[in-house]
Homo-oligomer: A and B are copies of this chain.
Amino acid sequence: MAGERKAARTKRGERQLIESILQRVGARAAAARTLAVGIGDDCAVVRPRQGEELVVTTDMSLENVHFRRDWHPPESVGHRCLTRGLSDLAAMGARPEAAFLSLAVPAELTGRWLERFLDGLFALADRVGVPLAGGDTADSHGLVLADIVLLGSVPKGRALLRSGAQAGDIVYVTGTLGGAAAELAALRRDPGAFRRRGAAPHPHLYPEPRLEVGKRLLKRGFATAAIDLSDGLSTDLAHICERSHLAAVIDTESVPIAAGATLDQALHGGEDYELLFTARPGVMIPAKIAGTPVCPIGKMIKRAPRPSSQALVRVLSPEGRQTPLAPKGWEHFRPRRQSGSGSR
């Protein structure tokens, strides 16, 4: 990690960053199932169990792109950072095995802000039982930059892919949709109200990765394809269509809309981190999986030989009319004066 001499120069610089992280790792790593060597060597060593393979995902959380420091409490930034990776594991049906955090923070934030960021991240890490196995740190010159890497395990050859859907499959979602977009809209109107986490659910600030649902889908063999709803239903269902060489029709009346959200937010709002999956029409899918409601919303169909990406997903209106549902992605947290596109 850091050179000793340089770190000693700053009161709350990279050394404090490293120490804050190491203090929290301690005993946790001992509980690791596949982590043979954690923080402290050139690499971590991960030892998959017999008959298992590993899935790997990496996701950035950049200030003013993925979050804003004046909108998001530090605990939320840490929670969301880890959720982005865990939700990808959930979509593969994987069990979390190890997390790696690359984190650059300006020196003036390595005190209270950093502690609260780590509070949010480790509260979730502890709850799902994933050890921090490594990473990198740096003093940034202004903005907070985090990149989270998650490793998970799946039985060999059994990972849930986007590419396995078949024509006639039913499309399901977990939970409700649009809640994160609705909370974000409220946050935009009044950032101050969200400084502290209240008792109410916070689908935007504290989304819940659907790890148990994903593992159950894999174990029971329910799903032919799966993805997590990070970019929004219209975009993520199009990803399944693309990878499975199919199209899809959604019945808008069946889409489970979160309390306070609009249909538009449910169709296009991202970062709900629910799971979207397909299953053969003959398979009986329970109304709840691992305690989470599951709801059929449409089906996979064959597609025209050369469809445009705009026409992969169609919606069926209450009047029975089918119209294309263009993938509309998601709005990010960049300051409005700046140009450039956001990313998830």
Interface of A with B (CB < 8 Å)?
Answer: 1-7, 9-10, 13-15, 36-37, 40-48, 53-60, 62, 64-66, 88-89, 91-92, 94, 98, 100, 102, 104, 106-107, 133-143, 145, 147, 149-152, 154, 156-157, 159, 161-163, 226-228, 231-232, 235, 243, 270, 309, 326-332, 334-335, 338-344
Known: A41-B243, A45-B159. A134 touches B1 (CB 8 A): no
In Å, the complex CA distance between A157 and B60 comes to 32
In Å, the complex CA distance between A102 and B85 comes to 13
* B45/A139 in contact, CB under 8 A: no
Chain B residues whose C-beta falls within 8 Å of the C-beta of A7 in the assembled complex: 329, 341
Q: Within the complex, what minimum Cβ distance (angstroms) separates A41 from chain B?
A: 5
Chain B residues whose C-beta falls within 8 Å of the C-beta of A156 in the assembled complex: 47
Known: A42-B92, A139-B342, A340-B10. A327 touches B3 (CB 8 A): yes
Closest 3 CB pairs of A and B: A3-B329, A138-B343, A43-B55
Residue of B nearest to A342 (CB): B6
Chain B residues whose C-beta falls within 8 Å of the C-beta of A226 in the assembled complex: 42
Instruction: Provide a sorted-by-A list of 21 A–B residue pairs whose CB atoms are within 8 angstroms.
Output: A2-B329, A3-B231, A3-B232, A4-B328, A37-B161, A42-B88, A42-B91, A42-B92, A42-B227, A43-B56, A43-B89, A45-B56, A48-B48, A48-B54, A56-B100, A56-B134, A58-B147, A102-B102, A136-B343, A137-B343, A138-B342
Q: Which of A9, A60, A228 has the most B CB atoms < 10 Å from its CB?
A: A60
* A3/B344 in contact, CB under 8 A: yes
* B46/A56 in contact, CB under 8 A: yes
In Å, the complex CA distance between A309 and B3 comes to 13
* B13/A341 in contact, CB under 8 A: yes
Given contacts A43-B152, A59-B136, A60-B136, 14 further A-B contacts (CB under 8 A): A1-B344, A2-B329, A6-B330, A6-B332, A13-B341, A14-B342, A42-B88, A43-B56, A44-B55, A58-B102, A62-B138, A136-B147, A139-B340, A149-B149
Q: Within the complex, what minimum Cβ distance (angstroms) separates A263 from chain B?
A: 18
Known: A3-B235, A41-B162, A341-B2. A135 touches B47 (CB 8 A): no
Residue of B nearest to A10 (CB): B341
Residue of B nearest to A55 (CB): B43
Residue of B nearest to A94 (CB): B43
Candidates B65, B159, B231; contact of A43 at CB < 8 Å:
B159
Chain B residues whose C-beta falls within 8 Å of the C-beta of A343 in the assembled complex: 1-3, 14, 104, 136-139
Residue of B nearest to A15 (CB): B341
In Å, the complex CA distance between A4 and B232 comes to 11
Q: Within the complex, what minimum Cβ distance (angstroms) separates A295 from chain B?
A: 21
Chain B residues whose C-beta falls within 8 Å of the C-beta of A46 in the assembled complex: 53-56
Known: A43-B89, A46-B53, A340-B141. A58 touches B135 (CB 8 A): yes
Candidates B91, B140, B327; contact of A4 at CB < 8 Å:
B327
Residue of B nearest to A107 (CB): B340
* A65/B2 in contact, CB under 8 A: no
In Å, the complex CA distance between A143 and B106 comes to 14
